[in-house]
Amino acid sequence: MIELKDVKKYYQMGDSVIKAVDDISFKIMDGKCTVILGPSGSGKSTTLNLLGGMDTVTSGEILLDLEDISKYSEKELENYRREKIGFVFQFYNLIPQLTIRENVGITADMVSDSLDVDEVINAVGLEKRKNLFPQNLSGGELQRVAIARALVKNPRVLLCDEPTGALDSETGKMILKLLKETSKKHSISLIIVTHNSAIEKIADQVIRVKDGKVVSDTVNENPLEIDEVVW
Amino acid sequence: MKYLIKKMLRDVQQNYTQFIAVFLMATISVMIYSGMASVWTGLSSTVKEEVDETNMANLYVSATNITDDDVSDIKDLEEDLEISLICKRSFNTVDGESEIEVNTVNNFDVSKFTLISGETYKEDKEGIYLDKDYAEKHNLNIGDDVYLLNAWGEEVTLTLLGTIHSPEYIYYTGAITETVPNYEKYGYGFVSNNTFLKLNSKINYTLAKITTSSEITDDMLSEILGERFVSVTKRADYTTYSRVEKEVEQMKKMATLFSLVFILLSLLTMYTSMVRLVNRQTQVIGTLKGLGVKSRQIKFHYALYGLITPLLGGLLGLLIGRLTVSKVLLNVKKTTLYLTEWKLVFSASSFILIAIIIICCSMAAVLAVRKVLKSETTDILRGNINQGRVKKELKDKYFLSNFSYEFRLAIRNMSENKVRFIMGIVGVLGGMVLMIAGLGVKDSINGSNDYVFSKQFTYEIKGILKIPGSVLEGEDGLQYLYENSVEIKTDLKDKKTILTALEDGNYYHFYDNDDNEINIKDAGVVVSRHLADELGIKAGNTISIKVNGDDSFKEIKVNAITKTLTPQGIFFSKDALEDAGIKFIPTSFLTDQKDAEYYRNLDEVKNCITREEQLNNTKTVADSVMSVVKLLLLASVMLSVVILYNLGILNYVERIRQYATMKVLGFYMKEIRSISISESIITTLIGWIFGMLIGGAFLKLYVKIISFDTFEWIAIVNLRTYIIATLVVVGVTLVVNILLNKKIKKIVMVEALKSVE
């Protein structure tokens, strides 16, 4: 179970205080797909960063399996990111000097119970491209590598920040499908942050945020298949 | 445009590390070069002024007993010819502690002295004009009495009429055995003819000083002076003057060669810094282009980056160089040279250097901008420029696949960022080369001195005979030498140098290039290596020589080349000299006895010097070189720090996104560190290896270039030098890595990744 309790994240900008996340609380279902939906500046990415241990809270608690990660030291956060979290960026952020297989492999080497590198690459459909460098791939392929890189660690939670934001609709759908299927297969909690409301239809849980606050938190009893979603 | 200026100022503020680095590199390069150039330009200019003001001779004619008739005949040779006759002799002071070379002249048309204090010279005034340094050293004031022993041993009291300076005594050591000025012991002075006659029974003019713009040959003078003619020396070869020229030349070579390396190093680093600085502004350039700012304006804007920083740095370098480097160097030169005025003159080459730095930086910026501007605005904004070649698919058996990901990453990073990689190597290499050369000069000078005074010479005392040809009666175990100046003629060039002939003995040793001893008795005639190289002489060659005092050249076969470092010249065994038809007239002697005072007190001995004193004198000269080298060394260390730190920072800035991503993915700091360090280790290792190799070669060249004509220094690098150079360069690299790792640790992941998106 992932739970955020009264989480605040304030930034000091000169004389004024920016309330990026302003007292939000919600629970995320294990092994399900959760979409955090909101417009630009709503605080959704900040929430994801806090969940991913990339940023620290101003106040409040973030619990993962009853452990409060907001109290973690720098070192503990490092271990947390390493062992529990998989991260997929909007702009992939692959290491350009490593091949596809190496990008995935270098992450697999970080944990003891990683998945098989080649199997994961095969699962994302890049078995024939694994010896290429990121520079040789299309946007969709790059995002598949990013997903493989995140999945190979067999993380507890998979965090995706606008994973389809830089892709066309068809490729976007393909990526979402891949994300959902693979996370389900490995019982990974999938959390997607997006401004694209079309995506909410595939989610098991939808949390809407605006101006740093949770506007709604709903459970989708009948999520649509990706192919059914109109972009 | 004013907004672009504002932007530039803010860019400077944001990228202050690189701008400061460029600023410092310009400052250090200009500081060292201009600081030294000011001294030699000032020195040359002062000497030139003194030469003009005193109407210094450009020909020195030695002869016995030059008469007024000779003067008339010589004057008839050319219309513009001026001539003064000089009679000089050294006299001891009554206390026996010092010796003054007293000059008297028939007129002061040529080579006047400069009066520093006291009354103007008048022929009828009784007294002496003494050189300022000697007078100061002995606390002598105008009107004080100077007590000298005349030629027949009587005390003569002379009033000090004035203190003077003569450009002919800029470098005056007093005795052939001394190599550095010693004002405590040796001075010079001028007296009237009448006063001179109190010191010496007669005035025998043996030197004619001539100024003329025309060519006067030996034959023309020989015809007038007949058998009395000895030799002619041109101003450029005149000991004191040539010494100044050589010192200027040496200083110039030392500074130029050394500066050349670190200026090149700085230019390369500044160039890449500017290019990389501009490349990080690709999006901004695209935006400016998209907004309609003219390409010309954009280029000018970035050209200003390369103009202002190096300009300010260069100007500060000029100022600091003048206040520090010049002052230090000036103080060093003041110990060996005497001038009435020490001037510092900015050399034109310093300004040219600043201009080169500015052009290099501005060009770098403009070329980088031009490359960006060639692309379509949309491509620039999307970052679709400078993609380079598309990488090929990697095969499974790719050789790197056996290495760790960190190593593979480091290797590919380097192959992808060749400029960054090469600059890293160049930074380490340059630091090593400069350090090895700087420290190696000290090793070389010390090693060369040790070689000369422990291996080459094994005597304890060298004495100069008062009367050439005389011998010390009842003294055993002496080895007599005959030393004279000689003119050597080869197909390549002519040169005046020293001839040394040796009696049998064990105090003077000769070695070949492989350090095998050459027996001079068997070899007969040998030439020192440095001179042989200069004149193109090889063992077995026949050369022409004319000994000072002889009227014709003799053909001599050179049997061997010796590694002898000093003196540079031609060496004969006594038998070989006499076989060549040159009389062996002992002028000095060598002994293994240690009591120098005993020999000094002998009537037949003019003066003597111990081997230890000779070594110390040589060390004084070496110290003057070393103080210059220390400056260069200091600059090298500073420069290495700036270059390596700057390159490190540039690498960090360009990879901040990669480091942030790795942090997010859960890499431990030590893993990220190992990637950054792997690269640094590879770069440092390659730079270090090449630095060691090139450093040694550069030192060889450097030592060869800065060696005096009379002393060939040999390039020696002690293990200690290699260790120190390595420790400094590796230490700096390590510190830079530690600082950068701290920065990596402090990367705010969210910020670093947000800025990209």
Contact assessment for residue B611 and residue B457, using Cβ atoms and an 8 Å cutoff: yes
Bridge partners, A30 (sequence order): none
Same domain for B518 and B647, yes or no, is: no
Please state the rounded mean pLDDT for residues A181-207. Answer: 90
Per-residue pLDDT, B354 = 94
Same domain for B377 and B325, yes or no, is: yes
A41 within domain boundaries: yes
Its sign, for the CA torsion B511, B517, B520, B524, is negative
Contact assessment for residue B560 and residue B526, using Cβ atoms and an 8 Å cutoff: yes
A100-145: pLDDT as tens digits: 998 999 889 888 888 899 988 988 888 888 888 888 888 889 988 9
Contact assessment for residue A24 and residue A7, using Cβ atoms and an 8 Å cutoff: yes
Structure tokens at B277: 């600085």
Residue listed under structure tokens 């560190």: B673
B750 vs A99: CB contact, 8 Å cut-off? no
B225 within domain boundaries: no
Same domain for B429 and B528, yes or no, is: no
Q: Is the pLDDT of residue B391 over 60?
A: no
B391 vs A136: CB contact, 8 Å cut-off? yes
Same domain for B489 and B445, yes or no, is: no
B9-35: pLDDT as tens digits: 888 888 888 889 889 989 988 998 999
Domain that holds residue A91: 31-56+84-222
B591 within domain boundaries: no
Tell me the longest C-alpha to C-alpha distance in chain A: 55
Q: How confident is the model at residue B384 (pLDDT cuts 50, 70, 90)?
A: low
A133 vs B394: CB contact, 8 Å cut-off? yes
CA B659 to chain centre: 47
Final residue belonging to a domain, choices B553, B586, B619: B586
Final residue belonging to a domain, choices B388, B409, B437: B388
Burial of B514 (0-12, 13-18, 19+ CB in 10 A): exposed
| Å between B665 CA and nearest CA of chain A | 6
Same domain for B552 and B664, yes or no, is: no
Q: Give φ, ψ of B201 to 5 degrees.
A: -70, -25
Our count of domains for chain B comes to 4
Instruction: Give ∠ CA B560-B562-B563 in degrees, rounded to 5.
Output: 155
A131 vs B657: CB contact, 8 Å cut-off? no
Bridge partners, B164 (sequence order): B115, B131
Q: Is the pLDDT of residue B511 over 80?
A: yes
B221 within domain boundaries: no
Structure tokens at B302: 């970035």
Residue B123: CA atoms inside 13 Å, Cβ hemisphere, count? 5
Partners of A107 on chain B (C-beta within 8 Å) are 665-666
Structure tokens at A202: 């595939």
Residue listed under structure tokens 């804007």: B301
Same domain for B123 and B29, yes or no, is: no
B440 within domain boundaries: yes
Contact assessment for residue B495 and residue B485, using Cβ atoms and an 8 Å cutoff: no
Please state the rounded mean pLDDT for residues A162-174. Answer: 84
Residues above pLDDT 90, as percent of chain B = 38
Same domain for B286 and B319, yes or no, is: yes
Contact assessment for residue B725 and residue B695, using Cβ atoms and an 8 Å cutoff: yes
For residue B163, which amino acid is it?
Answer: T
B95 within domain boundaries: yes
| Å between A131 CA and nearest CA of chain B | 5
Which long-range contacts does B660-663 make (Cβ < 8 Å, 24+ apart)? Answer: B660/B747, B660/B749, B660/B752, B660/B753, B661/A89, B661/A93, B661/A95, B661/B753, B662/A95, B663/A54, B663/A78, B663/A81, B663/B747, B663/B749
Q: How far is CA A216 from CA A8, A24, A36, A208, in A?
A: 17, 11, 10, 5
Final residue belonging to a domain, choices B361, B388, B415: B388
Structure tokens at A4: 């955020």
Partners of B408 on chain A (C-beta within 8 Å) are 97-98, 102
First to last CA, chain B: 29
Q: Is the pLDDT of residue B755 over 60?
A: no
Closest CB to B396: pick one of A79, A107, A131.
A131
DSSP string, chain A: -EEEEEEEEEEEETTEEEEEEEEEEEEE-TTSEEEEE--TTSSHHHHHHHHTTSS--SEEEEEETTEEGGG--HHHHHHHHHHTEEEE-TT----TTS-HHHHHHHHHTTSTTPPPHHHHHHHTT-TTTTTS-GGGS-HHHHHHHHHHHHHTT--SEEEEESTTTTS-HHHHHHHHHHHHHHHHHTT-EEEEEES-GGGGGG-SEEEEEETTEEEEEEE-SSPPPGGG---
A38 within domain boundaries: yes
Contact assessment for residue A5 and residue A60, using Cβ atoms and an 8 Å cutoff: yes
Residue A135: CA atoms inside 13 Å, Cβ hemisphere, count? 15
Per-residue pLDDT, B383 = 65
Asked if B405 is an interface residue toward chain A (Cβ–Cβ < 8 A), one would say: yes
DSSP string, B600-645: HTSTTEEEEEEHHHHHHHHHHHHHHHHHHHHHHHHHHHHHHHHHHH
Q: Is the pLDDT of residue B394 over 60?
A: no
Q: Is the pLDDT of residue B702 over 70?
A: yes
A87 vs B394: CB contact, 8 Å cut-off? no
Same domain for B407 and B378, yes or no, is: no
Per-residue pLDDT, B176 = 62
Please state the rounded mean pLDDT for residues A17-23. Answer: 91
| Å between A200 CA and nearest CA of chain B | 23
CB atoms near residue B214 (< 10 Å): 9
Burial of B611 (0-12, 13-18, 19+ CB in 10 A): buried
Please state the rounded mean pLDDT for residues A204-213. Answer: 94
A:B CB pairs within 8 Å: 84
Residues above pLDDT 70, as percent of chain B = 96
Closest CB to A131: pick one of B393, B408, B658.
B393
A78 within domain boundaries: no
B66 within domain boundaries: no
Per-residue pLDDT, B1 = 65
B543-593: pLDDT as tens digits: 999 888 787 889 999 999 999 998 889 999 999 999 999 999 999 999 999
Q: Is the pTM higher than 0.80?
A: no
B-facing residues of A in 190-209 (CB < 8 A) are none
Helix (H) or strand (E) holding B177: none
Q: Is the pLDDT of residue B378 over 80?
A: no
Sequence-separated (6 or more) residues with CB below 8 Å from residue B330: B39, B342, B344
Pairing between β-strand B525-528 and β-strand B560-562 as defined by DSSP bridges:
parallel
* Angstrom distance (rounded) from CA B713 to CA B118: 44
B45-96: pLDDT as tens digits: 888 888 899 999 999 998 988 999 999 999 988 888 999 999 999 898 998 7
B198-217: pLDDT as tens digits: 999 899 999 999 999 888 88
Q: Give φ, ψ of B389 to 5 degrees.
A: -80, 150
Contact assessment for residue B502 and residue B456, using Cβ atoms and an 8 Å cutoff: no
Same domain for B205 and B91, yes or no, is: yes
CATH at residue A131? 3.40.50.300
Contact assessment for residue B146 and residue B191, using Cβ atoms and an 8 Å cutoff: no
Local structure of B35: helix, strand or coil = helix
Q: How far is CA A52 from CA A162, B396, B494, in A?
A: 14, 34, 84
Please state the rounded mean pLDDT for residues A73-92. Answer: 89
Q: Give φ, ψ of B387 to 5 degrees.
A: -70, -25
Per-residue pLDDT, B396 = 42
Closest CB to A95: pick one of B398, B409, B756.
B409
Same domain for B145 and B102, yes or no, is: yes
B394 vs A82: CB contact, 8 Å cut-off? no
Structure tokens at B281: 């502004």
Asked if B391 is an interface residue toward chain A (Cβ–Cβ < 8 A), one would say: yes
What is the helix, strand, coil percentage profile of chain B, to 5?
55, 15, 30
Pairing between β-strand B479-489 and β-strand B588-591 as defined by DSSP bridges:
antiparallel
A151 within domain boundaries: yes
For residue B209, which amino acid is it?
Answer: K
| Å between B9 CA and nearest CA of chain A | 21
Local structure of B491: helix, strand or coil = coil
Of residues A71, A56, A65, the one with CA closest to residue A27: A65
* Angstrom distance (rounded) from CA B510 to CA B571: 10
- The DSSP output letter for B711 is B
Same domain for B381 and B409, yes or no, is: no
Chain B interface disruption, residue of A44, A79, A87, A97, most B CBs within 10 A: A97
B227 within domain boundaries: no
Q: Is the pLDDT of residue B701 over 80?
A: yes
B147-183: pLDDT as tens digits: 999 988 899 999 999 999 988 888 887 776 666 778 8
Closest CB to B394: pick one of A49, A78, A131.
A131
CATH at residue B580? 2.40.70
Contact assessment for residue B558 and residue B539, using Cβ atoms and an 8 Å cutoff: yes
Domain that holds residue B442: 399-456+611-757
Same domain for B479 and B547, yes or no, is: yes
* Angstrom distance (rounded) from CA B17 to CA A80: 34
Contact assessment for residue B330 and residue B33, using Cβ atoms and an 8 Å cutoff: no
Per-residue pLDDT, A59 = 95
For residue B309, which amino acid is it?
Answer: T
Partners of A133 on chain B (C-beta within 8 Å) are 391, 394
Please state the rounded mean pLDDT for residues B287-314. Answer: 88
Helix (H) or strand (E) holding B581: none
B757 vs A91: CB contact, 8 Å cut-off? yes
Pairing between β-strand A16-28 and β-strand A2-13 as defined by DSSP bridges:
antiparallel
Our count of domains for chain A comes to 1
Per-residue pLDDT, B756 = 46
- The DSSP output letter for B117 is E
A91 within domain boundaries: yes
| Å between A4 CA and nearest CA of chain B | 19
Q: How far is CA B14 from CA A178, B9, B273, in A?
A: 42, 9, 15
A63 within domain boundaries: no
Q: Alpha helices of B15-162 — where are they, by DSSP H? A: 16-54, 68-75, 132-137
Q: Is the pLDDT of residue B500 over 80?
A: yes
B65 within domain boundaries: no
B348-369: pLDDT as tens digits: 999 999 999 999 889 988 988 8
In whole numbers, what is the pLDDT of chain B averaged over residues? 87
